[in-house]
């Protein structure tokens, strides 16, 4: 796992001004961390409607935070530096291992389902058109704590008898968009990422369809969860839950490519824990 890095608030390094405060059950400001799947400044800008929506629904000031990597977000949750966190499934399981009191309450819904898939893509330039193409070559992952840009594709390869370090070289690029760009430009042979992010990059023209080969999709996995600190008072937690479960504003939902949010519980992420057993992972030590 990468070493912890400073937290980025509004795309600016501000770790020095985010000390570990006491556990305030009714804070004046809700610090809301968004998963660093893409460029931090873009995420902050896209989610301005979310900030305004939550301020209206909770009566609190809201600060949007994008951490430099998944591990720093997990650490920020553990130390009480954020009140709410939007995790990936794997990073949530890791955070829960370190901070048992955090509570998952919702996940995004797309086409009526709170699940999503990962996708393994190959470089057309390098002729990577099947999983075995990675043998002796390079596989790009996002963050080590990413579900669809590390855990899922690595499991897919393992189930085909392909082991990192033995059959292929793994390269961590930090984010889904970095993986897609590296594959599309032929810098790596293959990469794993979230299907929704892959589709969005195709739609936006960030990558071209002719430059990448869709090799395979994963099974469905529980979608990215929203979490709150368990020590927040119940009235505030209920306002937050209600805000998400009743969310209908297209401007707020657009960055998530979601139709809405559905209730979720910790047990819904047992599928991630089961996958971790296949890879021999210790979520408390990653």
Domains 7-113+224-279 and 118-217 share a fold: yes
Distance CA 66, CA 49 (A): 16
pLDDT tens readout for residues 84-111: 999 989 899 999 999 999 999 999 998 8
What is the rounded average pLDDT for all residues in the chain?
Answer: 89
At 85, give phi and psi (nearest 5°).
-140, 135
pLDDT digit string, tens, across residues 217-253 = 999 999 999 999 999 999 999 999 999 999 999 999 9
What residue ranges do the domains of the chain occupy?
7-113+224-279, 118-217
Q: What is the pLDDT of residues 179-219, one digit of tens each?
A: 999 999 999 999 999 998 999 999 999 999 999 999 999 99
For the domain covering 118-217, report its CATH number: 3.40.190.10
Q: Is domain 7-113+224-279 in CATH 3.40.50.150, yes or no?
A: no
On whether the CB atoms of residues 181 and 78 are closer than 8 A, the answer is: no
Which neighbouring-strand residues pair with 140?
A: 171, 191
- State yes or no: pLDDT of 3 exceeds 80: no
């Amino acid at each position: 796992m990468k070493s912890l890095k400073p937290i980025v608030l509004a795309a600016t390094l501000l770790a020095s001004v985010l000390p570990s405060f006491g556990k305030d059950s009714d804070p004046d400001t809700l610090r809301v961390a968004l998963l660093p799947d893409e460029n931090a400044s873009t995420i902050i800008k896209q989610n301005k409607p979310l900030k305004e929506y939550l301020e209206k629904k909770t009566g609190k000031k809201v600060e949007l935070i994008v951490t430099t990597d998944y591990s720093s977000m997990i650490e920020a949750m553990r130390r009480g530096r954020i009140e709410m966190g939007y995790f990936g499934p794997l990073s949530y399981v890791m955070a829960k291992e370190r901070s048992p009191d955090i509570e998952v309450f919702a996940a995004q819904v797309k086409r009526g389902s709170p699940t999503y898939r990962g996708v393994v893509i190959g470089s057309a330039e390098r002729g990577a058109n099947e999983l075995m193409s990675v043998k002796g070559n390079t596989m790009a992952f996002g963050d080590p704590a990413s579900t669809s840009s590390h855990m899922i594709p690595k499991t897919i390869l393992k189930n085909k008898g392909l082991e990192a370090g033995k059959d292929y070289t793994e390269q961590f690029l930090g984010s889904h968009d970095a993986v897609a760009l590296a594959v599309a430009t032929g810098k790596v042979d293959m990469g794993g990422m979230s299907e929704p992010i892959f589709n969005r990059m195709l739609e936006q023209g960030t990558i071209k369809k002719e430059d990448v080969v869709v090799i395979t999709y994963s099974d469905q996995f529980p979608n990215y969860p929203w979490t709150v600190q368990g020590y927040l008072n119940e009235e505030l937690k209920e306002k937050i839950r209600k805000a998400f479960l009743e969310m209908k504003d297209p401007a707020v939902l657009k960055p998530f490519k979601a139709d809405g949010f559905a209730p979720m519980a910790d047990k819904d992420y047992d599928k991630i824990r089961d996958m971790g057993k296949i890879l021999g992972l210790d979520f408390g030590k990653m």
